Structures are given as structure tokens and as C-alpha cells.
Amino acid sequence: MPQTALVILDDPVIDSRFEGVGASRDYRFADPSAAQVNVLDFGVTRGDGIFETISVGAGRLQALEPHLARFARSAALLDLPAPDLDAWREAIAAAAGAIDPAPEAFVKTVMTRGVEGSGGDVTGWAYASPSADFAEVRREGIAVVTLDRGYRHDIAKTSPWLLAGAKTLSYAVNRAVLREAAKRGAEDAVFVSSDGYLLEGSTSNLILRVGDRLVTPSLDLGILAGTTQNDIFGFAAGIGLRGEYALLEQSALADADAAWLVSSVRHAAPIRSVDGVERPVDAELTAAINTFLIGRRV
């Protein structure tokens, strides 16, 4: 079996599907190491499109339905046609099933606004690969810096055209903050709103432990509603930790008993320092959360 797999969807959206075709498959395998995307694709030239990255643990797609629901929400926020979720489910399963068995893998789904001048057909694919080894990061933790995102905490309400909270392909900023973090001797960044509230990581959500509560920034702050954070809150309830959403001042990060950046694939990365100041790592809870996340069956 190949190490990676690429599935291209012929009909990624509901609008473009033929009625009653049923028997024909809506996807095809392609060579992931060969060029497949048109140079005029809006995803390439403008970052105009959406994506999801779905963890695969021991061959099982994790939080698939929440990822698909967010994919559809992102499409709606960008005024893209609604993705045909049945077609995507099939393509994702095909891609995940085509790679070598690995303890941890991922499938990335991408849907762009399509090729400029081609009449509005969107482009869609699902790419599967084994995951990198995050054992050390999960054990030793990460150093983070806090960086001003430059937007107020309420932009999702005041300025929906900024697409805050949509998982768009425009991730140049999310990459730039990693370079800024590296210049400051850190591995990741925590975004803070221009008016001083904690938001999210560059590709992750922030969770704080405060006593027997797990607290994460409210989802109406123009941040991504994380599938991993949501699953962790479900797990935490079962071990006596209450999950809460709150408007958190920046100082809450330094005051927390422990903190994590959580996301699909990397899962829970404990924060071991903030802006150069060492922070306590809750090794036991981190291990319990990651064992739970890696072992999820749905």
C-alpha cells in the first residue's frame, strides 16, 4: 500500500450532482506525488477555499461528523456551494483506507472556489498520510508566545466578512506566527485580541485548567470551534472536570494551573512556558487526555 493517498472528487458539491446517478463513484484516486491542481485555481492564487484535517487513530476516522459539519459551515461563510457530505464521507474513507496501516494518520480535505474563468465548478480532494511522531511534544510540552492578532474580540459579530471562525485556506498568517514564535525561541503562538482577550493557537484551541475546571475561550470570539476541544470536554466530564467557555483576559494564561493547545493530529500539547516564563505541566492529565484522543473510535 502507498504511504500517502490522494482522492479527487468529481462532484464535491450538492448543486453539481446529477439526479439518480447512484451507481457511479464520485471520486477517483490520483498520484499524490504528481501535480494535480490547475495554476489558475483560486485555492492556489487567492487562498480562496476551505479545509479540514481529520485524525485517524488505528484506522478509525475521529470526530468525522463534527469535521464535516464545520466544513459545511465554512463553505456557507465563504458563500461556496454546499459540499455533498455523502460524497466527501466516501472520498475520505477511501483515502484513509488506501494508506499503510499506521497507529496515527490524518486525512486533509480541501475544497476551493475552482479554476478562474472555468464557470464556477469547485475543486475538491482528500489526501491521507501517516502522522508525524508527536510523542515528545505531548510529553515535554511546547513553549508559546502570546501575539496580538490585531482584531477586537467581537469581530465575528461586527465584521463577518473577515471570515473569522471559518477554516479557510488563507493560512499565511497562521504560518507567519510560527516564524515569529521561532524568532522568540518558542514553538507556537497563542493569539490575543487587540483588546486583551485570549483567543486560540495558530492551528489549535487553548484549554486552561483552573482547579477542577477546564476553561476555553468562548466560541463567539472569531475563533475556530475545535473538534478536539469539544471531545476533551466530553472526556473531562467523565473524570470530574467541568468544561466551561469564557471570555478570558490574557492574564488567565499565566494564572492557570495548566494549559494546552489542542488540535486534531497533534492532539493535546501541554504549554510549558509562556513568553519565556516556565509554566507547570500537568503530565498525568495530559497523558490521560492524549490516550483518550488517540483511542477515539468515532
8 Å CB contact between 133 and 103: no
Euclidean distance between CA atoms 91 and 109, whole angstroms? 9
Total residues contacting ligand PLP (rule CB under 6 A)? Answer: 12
Applying CB under 6 A, which of residues 74, 112, 263, 286 lies at the interface with ligand PLP?
263
State yes or no: residue 112 binds ligand PLP (CB under 6 A): no
CB of 40 to ligand PLP, least distance (A): 26
| Phi and psi based region of residue 16 (left: phi greater than 0; alpha: psi -120 to 50; beta: remaining) | alpha
Q: In whole angstroms, what is the distance from residue 5 CA to residue 259 CA? A: 35
Q: Does 104 bind ligand PLP (CB under 6 A)?
A: no
270/285 Cα distance (integer angstroms):
10
Closer of 207 and 274 to ligand PLP (Cβ): 207
C-alpha cell at 176: 507567519
The reply on whether position 74 binds ligand PLP by CB under 6 A is: no
- Residue pair 53/63 in contact by the 8 Å Cβ criterion: no
Please tell me whether residue 270 binds ligand PLP under the rule CB under 6 A.
no
The grid coordinates of residue 247 equal 471570555
CA end-to-end distance (rounded Å), the chain:
24
Q: DSSP code of 13?
A: B
CB of 155 to ligand PLP, least distance (A): 14
Which of 153, 226, 253, 285: binder of ligand PLP (CB under 6 A)? Answer: 226
Map residues 188-217 to x or -, x wherever contact with ligand PLP holds by CB under 6 A.
------------x--xxx------------
Of 106 and 125, nearer to ligand PLP (C-beta) is 106
CB 94 within 8 A of CB 252: no
How far apart are CB 53 and ligand PLP at their closest, in Å? 6
**Does the protein bind ligand PLP through residue 156 (CB under 6 A)?**
no
Name the DSSP letter for residue 251: H
Which of 227, 271, 279, 286 forms a contact with ligand PLP (CB under 6 A)? 227
- State the nearest-atom distance from the C-beta of 232 to ligand PLP, in Å: 9
CA neighbor of 262 nearest in space, from 194, 222, 297, 214: 214
Residue 85, C-beta contacts closer than 8 angstroms, at least 6 positions apart: 68, 71, 72
Does 224 interact with ligand PLP (rule: CB under 6 A)? yes
Near ligand PLP by CB under 6 A: residue from 109, 123, 193, 228 = 228
Closest approach, Cβ 285 to ligand PLP, in A, equals: 18
Q: Return the number of the residue (94 or 232) whose C-beta is nearest ligand PLP.
A: 232
Residue whose C-alpha is closest to residue 104's, from 83, 86, 129: 129
CB of 65 to ligand PLP, least distance (A): 12
CA distance 55 to 62: 5
Interface residues toward ligand PLP, by CB under 6 A? 53, 200, 203-205, 224, 226-229, 263-264
